[in-house]
Homo-oligomer: A and B are copies of this chain.
Amino acid sequence: MARRLTAIGFDADDTLWHNEQFFRMTQARFAELLADHADPDHLDERLLAAERRNLGHYGYGIKGFMLSMIETAIEVTEARVPASVIGEIIAAGQEMLRHPIELLPHAREAVEAASDAGFRVVLITKGDLLDQERKLAQSGLGELFDGVEIVSEKTPDIYARIFSRHGSGPEQAMMVGNSMKSDVLPAIAAGGWGVHVPHDLAWELEHADPPGDRTRFRELAHLGELPALLQQFL
């Protein structure tokens, strides 16, 4: 590991703070609301299909999730769902948009270690613009980041652009996140390092296999292991 690093990117949702659990809770509430119309497994499947279908229009985030839930509710009930249930779905989504941030273990310590070691530290996240900003503000981690990039998709090109803007290019950058598909693989494809910190909950659309070439790939059990990894680059 002779080559020096200049920038460390951190994913936000389910890397620094809990996120997927709020989607799961809301989805459970959704299943409850539609219990008379669809069994939960079938409903999950239809919702996932709607999310997949709508991703190109809505992008990532809670607002699109709300709209896909409403669409699915109409679909599975063949338009017999009462408006009051739609109202409850909206209320559940708005609840998500207000949920307080809970940092994951070692999140602050990991970001501080990267910052203290002199790396440019960048938050790189998908989702609704305002909602991601709110969560960052609430997290109390804002002042540790040199840059914040809320993007519509995490592609190799996007990583190359971000790490050129905030560091000295993707080859000298490391992306840390829970999504193999969005955080690890495209950062490695851009020429950088990809560090996977798995979270026990993952959205089905974020699934991917680890990279074949593991030269620039690392897997950590949790963020508490990041400071020691960064030491190797100093």
Contact = CB atoms under 8 A, between A and B. Distances in A.
Contacts of A212: none
Contacts of A77: 83
Nearest to A130: B59
Interface string A50-85: 000010011100011011001101100101111110
Nearest to A147: B165
A21 interface: no
Contacts of A63: 58, 63-64, 67, 128
A97 interface: yes
A47 to B, nearest CB: 14
Copies in the complex: 2
A152 interface: yes
A77 B84 CA distance: 11
Interface string A87-128: 100100110011000000000000000000000000000001
Nearest to A58: B63
Contact of A70 (B90, B150, B151): B90
A234 interface: no
Contact of A83 (B79, B130, B152): B79
Given A57-B98, A74-B83, A82-B83, 5 more contacts: A57-B94, A59-B130, A59-B131, A74-B84, A79-B82
